[in-house]
Chain A
Amino acid sequence: MSVWSTLSDSSFLEMLDSVLSKCDASHCCCGCCAALRPRYKRLVDNIFPVNPEDGLVRSNMDKLTFYSMSSPEKLDRIGEYLAQRVSRDIYRHRNPMVIIAMEAMDQLLLACHAQSLNLFVESFLKTVQKLLETTEPALQILASQSFVKFANIEEDTPSYHRRYDFFVSKFASLCHSNHPEVDVLNSLRLAGLRGIQGVVRKTVSDDLVENIWEPVHMDKIVPSLLYNMQHARPRRISNDDNSPNGLPEEQVDSENGARNIDPSALAENCLRELVGRASFGNIRSVIKPVFKHLDLHELWVPNDFAIYTFRVIMYSIQVQYSYAVVENLMMHLDTSSRSRAKVRTSMANVLAKIIAIAAGESVGPSVLEIVNSLLKHLKQSIMSPIPVDDKEAVTDEKHFQESLISALAEFAYHLPDYQKIEIMMFIIGGTPGTGKSDPENVPAETLLQHMLLKCLLKVSHKYKSTNFSTSLPLTFLDPLLRTSLVQDAYVRVLVQEILHCLLDRHDNRSKLKKPSVEICDLNLAIDKCSRADSLFYKNHGSRILVNLSESLDLNNVTRENIEAIYCTAALICVELATDEMLVDILRWALAVQDVALTNTMLHPKNRLSLHVVAISIVTLASHTMNVTTLVEYSSKVVSARNGSAPHLLNFNESSAESIQQDAISPECLLDFNAIADCMKEAGRDIMGMIPLQGPFNANQRYSWADSSVNQPSSFTDLSNINLDGSESNTSSPGLARRYAEEEVTFEALKKVLAEPVESRREAEYEKRQVICEKFRNTPFQQLVASSQSKGDVLNDTLNQILTRISVMPCGQPELNAVQHNNQSLPHYGNNFPDLFVY
C-alpha cells in the first residue's frame, strides 16, 4: 500500500510537474504571464530580437511556424498582427524590424498550406503595399521580393476580392525609376519588373481573379517592359538572327535574383512570358501598347528595336496565333497611312522580317487576307498623290513599295507551293487589265502593273515548278498572257520573266538568256518530257507561242523584249520537247524570220535580232529533239551566215544600221521547204507544217487555227475579209489580233472533212500569195489609199464579228482578245474601244 502510495505520489508529482511545465511553456495560465496577451501575439513578439542587428530569432520563428501550422485558424490573426507591427515600424522608420517582419511573413506564407492562407494573404498584401508606398528604395525592393515569393505560391482557392491595380501601377512606376544612383536605379527597375512578372504569373493562371489582359493593365505593363528593353546593350538589339529566336542566352532566375542582371534582359524575359501566355483574344491588347510605344518613342526609324521586339514576340507567341501579330501590324500600317514614308517603310521592313515566322502557321483565308492587305497598301502608295518635284518623298515612297514587295515575297517563300499558286493567281487578278484604264490613270496603272508584276516575279522566283498544269493553270495563264501584250514594254519583259520562272525546271534560264547557236556550249539540263507535260503542251503550248509572236510584233519592241521572248521560247523548247512542239516551234521561228523580213516599222537592229532568234531557236530545237537532218540544215545556214552575214549570228552586232535588210542572201535565211524536207527525211510528222512566207500575222493565225484541235479550220468569207484587214496592218505599226472563231455548224464541219486538206490549203496559200505580192510591190501611198477605202467594208464586217463575239460566253478558254490599235485605220479604235476589252 505504502509502495503504492509512494508510487502514486511520485507519479502524481511528475504529472503535476509536467502539467505545470507545459502550462508554463504555453503561458496559458493567466497568472503566469506578465502581459495579458494572446499566445499568437506573444509568439510573434518573440521572433523580434532585442537588438535589430541580430536578425530574426530563428528558434522562436520555428515555434511560430509550428504553431500556425498546427492551428491554421490563427493564421489570419497572426497576419493582422504582423501587418500592424510592420506599419508601425515603417512609420517609425525602424527598417531592420520591417525587414525581419517581412522575412517572417514570407516564411509563414511558404510554410502554411493553401486553404488557410486566404485571409493571411490579405494582410500580407496590405503590408507589401505599405512597403511600396514608402519612398525608400530598400523597402520597395523588399516588397517586390516578397511579392514575387507570394506570386510563386499556387493557391487552390480563388480570391475574388483581391485586387492588383495598385501593384500593377506601382510596379510599372518602379520600372521607370529615375533614381540618381545607377545601382539603386537598376535594382528598383529590376524590382518593378519582377513585380510585374509576379502579378502576371499570379493572375493569368486563374480566371477568377482580375483579368490582367484588360487594357488598363496592359497599357501599363507593356510600355514598362519595352522601356527597359530599349535601353538594352546594343548588342542584344542588333543581334539579328541568333539571339531572339530560341531562349535568351542568359536565363534569369528571378528567385535568386542575382544583383547584376541587366533590367533589359529581365524585361525581355517578362515580355516573352507575357506573350507566351496570351490567348488569341488577348493578343490585340498586348500588341496595341507595343505600337503605341514604338510610335511615341519614335522607334520605327531606325527600326532595329522594332525588329528586335517583334522577333521576341513572334518567337514566344503560341505558334497558332503568330499570324494575328502580322495582322495587327498590318492594321497599324493602315492607321498610320498618313505618317512619313520612312516610318511606313520601316514598318513594312519589320513586316518583311517577321512575316516568314508566321507563314508556316497561316492557312486558308488568312493567307489571302494578308496578301490582299499588302497589295492594298501597295496600290494606295502608288495612287497616292506625291509632288513629283519632291525627290526625297518620291524615293521614300519607292522604298516603301519595295519593302512591301519584299514582305510579300518573304511571306510567299515560306508558304507551301499550292498556296504560292493561289497567291500568284490572286495577284494577277488584282493587276489592272489591258485597255481597261481610263486615260488619266495610265501612268499610275502602268506603275501598278510594274509593282504587281514585280511581286509576282518575286513569288514565282521562290516557286519550284514541277508540274506545269498546276503551276500554270488556265485561270492564271490566261490573264498572264493577256498582260504580256500591254503597251508598256517593261511590263511585257516582266511577264516573260515570270513565265521563265514558272517554265524553268532545270535552271536553264540563265543559260538561255541570249540567243546563241552554240547550243552545245550551254550545257543544258534536259529531262524527258512526261505525259503530263505533253498534255499541257497540247492544251496551252500553241497559245503561248502565238502569244509570243504577237508580242514580238508590237511596235515598241525593245531588245529586252526580244531576249525575254527568246528565252521563253527556248525554255518551251527545252522543257516541253514533244513532236508537236517541234513543228510549232519551227513554224514559230519561220514566222519570226518573216517579221524580221517584212516589218519595216521595226528598228533595223531589232530586225537583225529577230533573225538571230530564229536561227537560234531552230538550232536549239533540232538539238533538243535530236533531228539530225535539221541539225545539219541549221549548221549549214549558220556557216552560210558566218561567211556572208556574220551580223545575223551575233546578237550584239553594233553596226546594224549600215546593213541593208535586202542584202541577205537566200542561203542565209531559213527556208520553209528545206526545213520541211529535213523533217520528212527524219521521218517526222509534218502535218500542220504549211509554207510560211506570207505576212506573218495572217499566216500565223491561219496555221494556229488549222493545227488546233478545238478549232475548225474552215475559213468563211467573212474571216477572209478580215484577214485582208490584218494584212494591211502588218505593214503598218501596231498589231492586229483577231480571234478565228468560226461558226461551228454541221455543214461547215462536213465541208472540212470532205474537202481534201491539201487542195484547200493550196488555194488559201495562193490567195495569200497574191495579196502578199500586192502589198510588197505596190507603193505605200497606194496601199494606204486602198486600205482606207476598205475601211467601211471592214467596219461592217467587224461589226458583224463583234456582235457574234459578244454573244459568246466570255469565259470560253479559246476566246482571244480582239484588239486593234491600228494607227493607219484609227476608226477601228474609235468605234470599238470597249468591245475589244475582255
Chain B
Amino acid sequence: MEDYKYLFKVVLIGNAGVGKTCLVRRFTQGIFPPGQGATIGVDFMIKTVEIDGLKIKLQIWDTAGQERFRSITQSYYRSAHALILVYDVSAQPSFDCLPVWLREVEEYASPKVLRVLVGNKVDRDDREIPPAVGEGFSRMNNMYFIETSAKDCSNVDKLFQEIARELIQDANSNDGPVGQQDTTHLDGAAEKSWSESNCCKS
C-alpha cells in the first residue's frame, strides 16, 4: 500500500472562488462539497494514482486564492513539481488575472515547474471564456490546457493523470528534475525485501 514509485508535489493557484478546493476534493475524495467556504492559508491532500502500473503519490497543496494569504501561499510554489493555474470559465475577471498569476509563478516557482492551465466550471451555462481563448492563452505561455468541471467530474481525473504522466516523463528524461532525489527514496517494496532478508540474523 505504500510502495509508490514517485512522489510529486502539485500546487493549485488561481483567483478566489474559481473552484480549486472543489477540484481537489473531487479528485481525492470523490465528492463535490456544496457551499465550500474560502480556503484559509493552504490545504493539503494526498492521493495515489497508478500510471502504467507505477504507483504515483501526489501531494496536493490547495492554496487560498485571497490576496491576503499571498505571503504564505507563495512560499509553497517553490518546491512544487507542477502548478495548476485555475480560472473560472464563467468569470472573465478570473481569466484576466492570469498574467498576474504567471508573473508570480515566474518570481517564486522553480523555472522547470510543469505549468497547467485549467478552465473550471464548464458545467455552467453562463460561460464567458470560450475554450479557444483559454487554449490560445496557454499556448502563448507554454502551458498545458484542460477544461474541467468539479461538479460533474469531467476531466478531473484526467487532469491529474496527465500531470502525473508528464511528471514521470520529466523525471525519467532528465534523471531528476526538481526535488527528485528526495521523492524517490521512499521505495516501500525495496525496504520490505531488505528487512526480510536480514531476519535470519536476528
Contacts and interface: CB of A to CB of B under 8 A. Distances in A.
A77 interface: yes
B70 interface: yes
Contact of B68 (A170, A220, A296): A296
B126 interface: no
Interface string A291-326: 011001110000000000000000000000000000
Contact of B39 (A74, A169, A178): A178
Nearest to B39: A178
Contacts, number: 86
Contacts of B69: 176, 223, 296
Interface string A196-238: 0000000000000000000110011001100100000000000
B40 interface: yes
Nearest to A299: B68
B51 interface: no
A172 B61 CA distance: 12
B202 A77 contact: yes
Contacts of A298: 68
A220 B64 CA distance: 14
Interface of A: 38-41, 74, 77, 80-81, 84, 87-88, 91, 126, 130, 133, 135, 163, 165-166, 169-170, 172-173, 175-178, 215-216, 219-220, 223-224, 227, 289, 292-293, 296-298
A77 B191 contact: no
Interface in B180-202: 182, 186, 191-192, 195, 198-200, 202
Given A219-B75, A296-B68, A172 B42 contact: yes
Interface residues of B, number: 35
Given A39-B202, A176-B42, A216 B68 contact: no
Interface string B3-45: 0000000000000000000000000010000000101111111
Given A165-B79, A178-B37, A172 B202 contact: no
Interface of B: 1-2, 29, 37, 39-46, 59, 61, 64, 67-72, 74-76, 78-79, 182, 186, 191-192, 195, 198-200, 202
Contacts of A84: 192
Tell me which of B71, B74, B198, B200 has the highest count of chain A C-beta atoms within 10 A of its own C-beta: B71
27 contacts: A38-B202, A40-B202, A41-B199, A74-B202, A81-B195, A126-B186, A130-B2, A133-B46, A166-B59, A169-B42, A172-B41, A173-B41, A173-B43, A175-B41, A178-B39, A215-B75, A216-B75, A219-B71, A219-B75, A223-B41, A223-B71, A223-B75, A224-B41, A224-B72, A227-B41, A292-B71, A296-B70
A88 B1 contact: yes
Chain A contact residues, majority secondary structure: helix
Given A38-B199, A133-B46, 14 more contacts: A80-B195, A84-B192, A130-B2, A135-B29, A169-B61, A175-B41, A176-B64, A177-B40, A178-B40, A219-B71, A220-B72, A289-B71, A293-B71, A296-B69
Given A87-B2, A219-B71, A170 B202 contact: no
A297 B40 CA distance: 13
A173 B61 contact: yes
A280 B60 CA distance: 35
Nearest to A76: B195
Contact of B41 (A80, A81, A133, A176): A176
Nearest to B43: A173
B150 to A, nearest CB: 18
Contacts of B45: 135
Contact of A173 (B42, B67, B182): B42
Contacts of B186: 126
Contacts of B44: 133, 169-170, 173
Contacts of B202: 38-40, 74, 77
B191 A80 contact: yes
A297 B41 contact: no
A231 to B, nearest CB: 11
A172 to B, nearest CB: 7
A170 B195 CA distance: 29
B71 A296 contact: yes
* Nearest 6 CB-CB pairings of A with B: A176-B41, A219-B75, A223-B72, A292-B71, A38-B202, A173-B42
A268 B15 CA distance: 31
A223 B186 CA distance: 30
Nearest to A296: B68
Contacts of B46: 133
Nearest to A175: B41
A36 to B, nearest CB: 9
Given A74-B202, A169-B61, A216-B78, A176 B195 contact: no
B184 to A, nearest CB: 13
Contacts of B75: 215-216, 219-220, 223
A216 B79 contact: yes
B182 A163 contact: yes
B189 to A, nearest CB: 12
B22 to A, nearest CB: 14
Nearest to B29: A135
Given A163-B182, A169-B61, A220 B67 contact: no
Nearest to B71: A292
B1 A220 contact: no
Contacts of B68: 296-298
B141 to A, nearest CB: 25
